[in-house]
Amino acid sequence: MKKIELEIVALSHSITQTHSYAVVLGEVNGLRRLPIVIGGFEAQAIAVALERMQPSRPLTHDLMKNFMNAFNVELMEIVINDLQEGIFYSKLVCISEHDTVEIDSRTSDALALAVRFGCPIYTYDNILESAGILMEDTNKKKKTNIQVDDVSSAGREELSKLSLEELQNLLNEVLEQEDYIRAINIRDEMNKRK
């Protein structure tokens, strides 16, 4: 089967499940999107890597990357290779000096590692056909910006009422709590004003 390359185009609260997030993968040079529901911790791990944040201590996926690097194992690609009863299955394709190994993985963990290693993300046409969404062709050839959306419109309105100093204090608080998704939204509000 021919593999189709995907890229992360959005990360947001899931509208279908409480306390869950959705990562949206887009077909490279195509119009199909693949939304995948993931947990909050995994969403945070992906957001931290996408935004190139440096936590004070390594997160679990950072530890995994450091471990793999220490033993000269490289993550070549991830493949979302199956879909059963609404659950996506993935594998990590890793190489070392002497071997290539495929490792079963939750898709959310595979995506968190793919962002850290900068490796490609693939799936197959049958998965995109059954779970994908076809976007309208706007005849624009620009790449979609990655969007991390965690704050409701009411939450954004609350942030807009705070002064820069109050936003900075709030940012420091949420970083201490390691709530990186919320930190991204606060940082974006601060950047809008600068």
152 pLDDT above the threshold of 50: no
Q: What's the pLDDT score for residue 58?
A: 87
Query: pTM for this structure?
Result: 0.73
* pLDDT level of residue 141 (50, 70, 90 thresholds): very low
Strands (E), the chain: 3-13, 20-27, 32-39, 74-84, 87-95, 100-106, 121-124, 133-134, 147-149
> What's the CA gap between 31 and 134, in Å, rounded?
6
* pLDDT level of residue 193 (50, 70, 90 thresholds): confident
Q: What's the pLDDT score for residue 178?
A: 59
> What's the CA gap between 167 and 22, in Å, rounded?
26
DSSP summary character for residue 68:
H
Are 150 and 12 in contact by the 8 Å Cβ rule? The answer is yes
Q: What's the pLDDT score for residue 54?
A: 82
Q: What's the pLDDT score for residue 14?
A: 60
> What's the CA gap between 108 and 89, in Å, rounded?
10
